[in-house]
A and B are shown apart, each in its own frame.
Chain A
Amino acid sequence: MAEFFFNKVSKSRQYFLSLLFVCIVSFLCFVFANFIDYKIVAFILLVTVSLIAITFDIFPVLTAAVLSALIWNFFFIPPRFTFHVGSTEDTILFVMYFIIAMVNAVLTNKIKLIEKGAREKEEKSNTVKLYNTLLNSLSHELRTPIATIIAATDNLQTNSSNLTPNDKEELLAEISTASFRLNQQVENLLNMSRLESGFIQPKKDWCDINELVYDAVKRIEENKATQHITINISPNLPVLKLDKVMLEQIIYNLLNNACQYTAPDSMIQLKATYKPHFLEIVIEDNGDGFPEEEIKNVFEKFYRLKTSRTGGTGLGLSIVKGFTEAMGGSVLLQNVSTGGARFTLIIPAESTLLKKTDQWQKRIY
């Protein structure tokens, strides 16, 4: 912390502060000179220079070391108030003081440089690791649909006479599915880069949660999932002020995740309720749930479960977390006692008091 703070201090301030520090300590020693032996003062000043060395750059430290040596000589080594050193022993002490102070400053600086280098190296290797993970999952996720499209179109172009109309239909359906999958991956990447850029601002507008949820479900149904989705939206849910695009994407990603990682014909349940001033959405499935020890990691970027089949980029859930937090909310993952996973979203949202008795509700009949 201290290092972080002082690294930001400008060069001239570093000189000023380190010299000031030496002067204050020397002054205190001077006040108590009658009670402290001048050799002890040397140690106190050495400690002072060491402390300065931990926080400041090399040159202010060296200056402070020189100053402290001179002060010690002038004010403390007998005869006091002269630069003259009385005994040979004291001359040796003074030279040793000077050397220790200098070595101290230089060594501390060296350690700092090594630490900095190690930190940078680690950061770099982490970035490389992340980048490799991304490339691996991406190239798989993008290549599979591309391979499908290339193979299917090639088949249709060169082998047309041997294909039955039914075969052709199926190949075309494959091409279509692959294209939508590609499109979805590109969307995931764009969302991720929006999050990464840090400029993501929710665009709040009034939303009909019912409509929003069904829009997400409609997109899921287009993926031809076989799971059964039950929707349970509290009937008196008011119109809420939220970012519709983000919330729809969150719900879509959670439902899509449930569809991808549960057995065919599994049950998925979505519940939405509003308690002032929070929207709560619970999405629960009756699949196998998540391994307990991995729950804390699943929202990390590119994280894939150890047991996970190939496919998937590990972006879906991290986008869920990123978007939820961008809206000021939180997402919690738990395993249900009966098996299966439960995601709980809590998002702050303003509601409207618009009632059915509103002035716009006059009947014309």
Chain B
Amino acid sequence: MAKADLLIIDDEAQIRKLLSITLQSNGYTVRHASTAKEGLITAATHPPDLIILDLGLPDEDGHTILKKLREWFTNPVIILSVQNSESDVIKALDNGANDYLSKPFRTGELLARIRSALRTSVLEESKPVIICDDLQIDLAERTVKKNDELVKLTATEYALLALFAKNEGKVLTHQYLLRDIWGPGYINQSQYLRVFIAQLRKKIEKDPNRPEIIVTESGIGYRFICKEQ
């Protein structure tokens, strides 16, 4: 099965090689570039289905490249960052990156990010019913069932869960969630988010202390992960 064309822009030869081997063995076609300049040219001459962009390139700031790319490139961009650079990641997500991976990462994570980024770009409108393990979210009827039993949610809890479900596998930043659910005036009121996420987890997670559906992306946001049956 022919999978997507990917472009890796990273100055580290080892990372490029590792990513190439991993991605090619999973059926993707891979091109790579070691500088921002080369990356932008390659992206323009052979527009890929997805770009993996390292934020720390030697010749240009990652955020600038991202902005340049986003002037015309609409397919997903996944950025590679280093640990403890949450503010950089948030900035990149605001500038149009679809997702991020922080080094060091596991192969499973890498593939999951690529899959979900490609999926959301292919299929924008979501299915009316989303089934994750024992959880069933019916977006048309606005009902949530766990083990076939109706879960009682408040309006805000439901809105939050529906937003997550529509963005399955994708990282949603705190600010994005606050703006979307509570409104622009609430983007700094992250206490709402903390309280509601905790409540929601109590209702839908098997063990709210070890969440598997709404997972925390430390310092950045949350990610809805759906284990399909």
Contact = CB atoms under 8 A, between A and B. Distances in A.
Given A183-B104, A215-B216, A364 B158 contact: yes
B67 interface: no
Contacts of B104: 179, 183
B219 A210 contact: no
Given A183-B104, A211-B198, A214-B209, A205 B190 contact: yes
A239 B195 CA distance: 7
Most buried by B among A179, A210, A248, A365: A365
B19 interface: no
A118 interface: no
Contacts of B84: 187, 190, 245
A245 B216 CA distance: 13
Interface stretch (B2-10, B43-51, B91-99, B148-156): B148-156
Contacts of B156: 360-361
A364 B191 contact: no
A240 to B, nearest CB: 9
Interface string A345-365: 000000010100000111111
Nearest to B103: A183
Given A210-B198, A218-B210, A244-B218, A354 B192 contact: yes
Given A205-B190, A248-B218, A214 B210 contact: yes
Interface string A198-220: 00000001111011001100100
B194 A207 contact: yes
A214 B208 CA distance: 10
A187 B83 contact: yes
B219 A244 contact: yes
The range of chain A's interface size is 20 to 34
A205 B158 CA distance: 24
Interface string B178-206: 00001000000011111111100000000
A238 to B, nearest CB: 9
A360 B210 contact: no
A179 B103 CA distance: 12
A48 to B, nearest CB: 59
Interface in B28-85: 83-84
B129 to A, nearest CB: 18
B227 interface: no
A7 B213 CA distance: 64
Interface in A164-205: 179, 183, 187, 190, 205
A84 B64 CA distance: 85
Given A210-B198, A218-B210, A245-B84, A360 B216 contact: no
Interface string B208-223: 0111000010110000
Contacts of A365: 152-153
B142 A364 contact: yes
Contacts of B194: 206-208, 211, 239
Contact of A363 (B152, B182, B218, B219): B152
B191 A352 contact: yes
A189 to B, nearest CB: 12
B98 to A, nearest CB: 24
Contacts of A241: 191
Contacts of A231: 209
B218 A206 contact: no
Interface of A: 179, 183, 187, 190, 205-208, 210-211, 214-215, 218, 231, 239, 241, 244-245, 248, 352, 354, 360-365
Given A208-B195, A210-B198, 9 more contacts: A187-B83, A205-B190, A206-B190, A206-B194, A214-B210, A239-B191, A239-B194, A362-B154, A363-B152
14 contacts: A190-B84, A206-B190, A206-B191, A211-B194, A211-B197, A239-B195, A244-B219, A245-B86, A245-B218, A248-B218, A352-B195, A354-B192, A362-B155, A365-B152
